[in-house]
Structure 1
Amino acid sequence: MNLNGKTILITGGGSGIGLEAARQFLQIGSKVIITGRNQQKLDAAKKAYPTLVCLQSDAGNEKDAFALFEKVKELGGIDILYNNAGVGVPPKNLGIANDAHLKGATYEMEVNYLGVIRLNNLFMEMLKSRKESAIINTTSILSMVPSLVEATYSASKVALAFYTKSLREHLKITGTRVKVFELLPPLVDTDMVADRDDKKISTKQLIKGLIQGLKKDQYTIRVGDSRLIYIFSRFFPKFTFGLINPKKINLTLRS
């Protein structure tokens, strides 16, 4: 896929993975629109990269999604929709049979899964009208092997992974030119996991892998340990489950 000159919309672009993606896409000649809930982060991103277009929008909010679509249409539309925004609710303990657990799971599903479908549906006709266009959905290493302390987050990413594969094949069958990519990151060094001592990769390394995959039309893009986990999970599922879930787990890791 040719990325030079393409206009890309990145959700959750105010910091972390999204902001690094904006930086690297700008470097290769793309036009970039980012969204985020935090206006201060968007203002800081605009100051760092003046050519960015920054729009405040919550990826899990239906009204925001419709408003975002109208703003983007006024700006001339996009060629690539990068569904980067995602949330993970910190588990406080294994007492999962409670209202707080259900509320957290609902929030994760609304942002990580339903919010992606909502935006894809809104922008689909716009993307279909372009000569070359794409959707990028960010799933996770945990869509291959679940985490005991991130069970509902893992489930939301599994749902997105299955939806992404189905959407890709559906669009092929109907003769649509929209390409559908799946990015499977391992643990990435962002503020969301700053308190974890696990092995992490940098946002720079992740996005470099993403862009390489896009240029090669590699529809499933696994970066870092996601490649190994994919292979191990197929041939050694119990061993791989143990890699993701050590015997001793700190249940208050992200309180």
Structure 2
Amino acid sequence: MNLTNNTVFISGGSAGIGLEIAKKFSASGNKVIINGRDQTRLDNALNLLNNAVGIQGDLSIESERIRISEELKQNHPDLNVVINNAGLAYAYSLAESDETYENARKEINTNYLSIIHFNELLLPNLREKSDAAIVNVTSILSFIPTLTIPTYSTSKAALKAYTQLLRKSLAQTNVRVFELIPPLVNTEFSAGSGGENGIDPKEVADELWIAFEKNQLDVPVGKSKVVYSIFQEAISKLTK
């Protein structure tokens, strides 16, 4: 992938991992479009960026996804990189909660179905570009689910499977499909699940940047590298 002169859309770009990715790309000669639900948070984030604009909206809502995709097509026709970073997580116990279904419904919608639909809306335009990419942000929990955020883990496992299949489906096109696989990251998003013990979100952004430079489509970060290596070794043995 080219590292400069891209037009990059980042969902969940007003804080955490998304904001660090936005900083990295905007500081390196790319136009950045950040998305978030809260206009004030978007405005605050934009003050930290160069050559960036914001689009307020909730991508978990179908009408909002359609509106945002249309705005991108009309106002940013040069868009060639889409980073699906926004997510939703609930910390609770499967054994004790009476809201498991509702939590799972919301997480699956935000972390999986909404991403599938948003990619579908933008893929025709991305395929017209000579150099394009989709980045889906999964998690170390897609390999090793945790009891504390159980259906979030499930949603990320589903996203991983979709990402791998989308990559294979688009292998003969100009659209590269990256999977960014962070471990626990110290962000506001993860504050309720031990995030203070996580890595700096800047490390995640730096690893994605290196992966773009190398055209490395799987992007494990931190402890995810160990889990990813074991997983790849197992797959290699099974396919011999």
Please state if 1:89 is matched with 2:87: no
Give the Cα–Cα distance (whole angstroms) in 1 for the partners of residues 2 and 230 of structure 2: 33
User: Match of 1:190?
Assistant: 187
- What are the Cα deviations for residues 65-106 of structure 1, in whole angstroms up to 9, with x where unaligned? 01001111122321001001011012167324x3x1111110
Q: Aligned with 1:192: secondary structure?
A: coil
Note if 1:2 corresponds to 2:29: no
Q: Which has the larger radius of gyration?
A: 1
Q: CA deviation at 1:223?
A: 0.7
- How far did 1:226 drift? 0.2
Amino acid of the structure 2 residue aligned with 1:179: R
* Correspondence for 2:169: 170
Question: Are positions 1:201 and 2:199 aligned together?
Answer: yes
Query: What is the RMSD of the two structures over their aligned residues, measured on CA atoms?
Result: 1.7
Give the Cα–Cα distance (whole angstroms) in 1 for the partners of residues 195 and 53 of structure 2.
Answer: 35
Instruction: Report deviation, 1:48.
Output: 2.5
* Correspondences of 1:42-191 after superposition (within 5 Å): 42-49=42-49, 51-77=51-77, 78-91=79-92, 94-96=95-97, 98=98, 100-172=99-171, 175-191=172-188
Q: CA deviation at 1:161?
A: 0.4
Pairs aligned (count)? 232
| Aligned equivalents of 1:129, 1:191: Cα separation in 2 | 37
The amino acid of 1:95's aligned partner reads E
Structure 2 gaps of 5+ residues are: 235-240
Report the identity percentage. Answer: 38
SS at match of 2:206: helix
Stretch deviating more after TM superposition (35-44 or 70-79): 70-79
Q: Distance in 2 between the 1:26 and 1:103 partners?
A: 37
Partner of 1:242: none
Secondary structure class of the residue paired with 2:170: helix
**1:233, 1:133 → 2: CA distance?**
28
Question: The residue matched to 2:177 in structure 1 has which SS?
Answer: strand
C-alpha separation in 2, matches of 1:92 and 1:117 = 27
Unaligned runs of 5+ in 1: 237-255
